[in-house]
Amino acid sequence: MRRLSSLILILAMTGCSFSDLPLTGPEPERNILTGLEGANREIVAVKFDDTRYAHPQKGLDAADVIFVTQVEAGLTRVMAIYTSQYPDEVGPVRSARISDIDILAQFGRVGFMYSGAQSKLRIVLSDANIVNLSAERNPPSIYVTDPSREPPYAMMVRIPALLEKADGIDVVKSIGIEHGDLADSATPVLGARVDWPNARYEIIWSESEERFLLDFDGEPNLDEKGNRLGSPMMVIQKIDIYPSEYGDKFGGITPKNDVVGIGVAYLLRNGEVTKVNWSRQTPESETNWTLDDGSVAKFERGQIWFFLTDQEPKFTYPEGDPAQK
């Protein structure tokens, strides 16, 4: 009451009114991963199939972060991270891989949703810092079959229904991403191509939409609503990929996508690309993203796609390759 009386007295002495005061209020909450307005809730990871038979995928548009990784036969799979919103149903869901554990470790204790895993890997998953929310432990009322799809590309998961019975999942925290201005060293780019032995993504800058659009294996990458997937923020991260001790039932060797160590990456944002350095000391550590001068490489706000590859990407520039000038 005393504070209000003092404020009224000040206004009377200065000839001001309440309408003259600047309108201030609490800053809107921003998701720590995307930098967009949104909640910071429990971390959920969903493993998606990423073959042609699995497309169009459902629910990727609502993810905060998406990882594209190499699996057996040189194909890719997708792992989507949800923290700001949980779609009712996403998929198609497929099985876990050894690389998932290290990729997820920097997030803390994640609720991991996947179809299953080979018996040898189940032991490792049980020792990992994850909450196992797989189809092996949950009923078909949560891991449902989409009648419009053919198995094994028809399993979908109902995230909210599963979270109702889950506990022990961490709230999202920083994984080393900082949002800010575009680096001076950035170069205008029209697009990029990322290759694996039997899969490829193309990243195409759209001036009208102010984001990068995605093609998958030569076709527009559409979701189940017919919308083109894409984002203002893409990261092509070069890593080591090598055979692991695991494999599939057909004799294919599971590759390990190694996200611990040091390497180079390419940040695509604002129609430009910046070559940066990345480092991660342990699976549990944040990933550091730096420019050549040692300063922090900043990300654009928005959903982030990480393409993990051991191949040098192919860029298309407005006026040819800058390296040739």
User: Is the model's pLDDT at 109 over the cut of 70?
Assistant: yes
Q: Considering only 7-21, 24-38, 274-288, which range has the smallest mean pLDDT? A: 7-21
Terminal alpha carbon distance of the chain? 70
Share of the chain above pLDDT 90, in %: 87
Average pLDDT score over residue span 8-16? 48
Q: Considering only 96-105, 120-129, 248-257, which range has the smallest mean pLDDT? A: 248-257
As annotated, the residues of the chain forming the CATH 3.50.90.10 domain(s) are 44-163, 187-318
Which residues have a Cβ under 8 Å from the Cβ of 252 and sit 6 or more positions away?
72, 73
Average pLDDT score over residue span 233-255? 92
pLDDT, averaged across the chain: 92
Residue 296: its pLDDT value, please? Answer: 98
Token pair belonging to 240: 């080591």
User: Is the model's pLDDT at 100 over the cut of 80?
Assistant: yes
Residue 207: its pLDDT value, please? Answer: 96
Residue 4: its pLDDT value, please? Answer: 43
pLDDT band at 323 (very low <50, low <70, confident <90, very high): low
At the topology level, CATH places domain 44-163 in YerB-like fold (3.50.90)
Could you tell me the pTM of the whole model?
Answer: 0.91
> How far is the C-alpha of 68 from the C-alpha of 48, rounded, in Å?
10
The length of the chain is 325
CB 281 within 8 A of CB 260: yes
Architecture of the domain whose range is 187-318: 3-Layer(bba) Sandwich (3.50)
Residue 322: its pLDDT value, please? Answer: 61
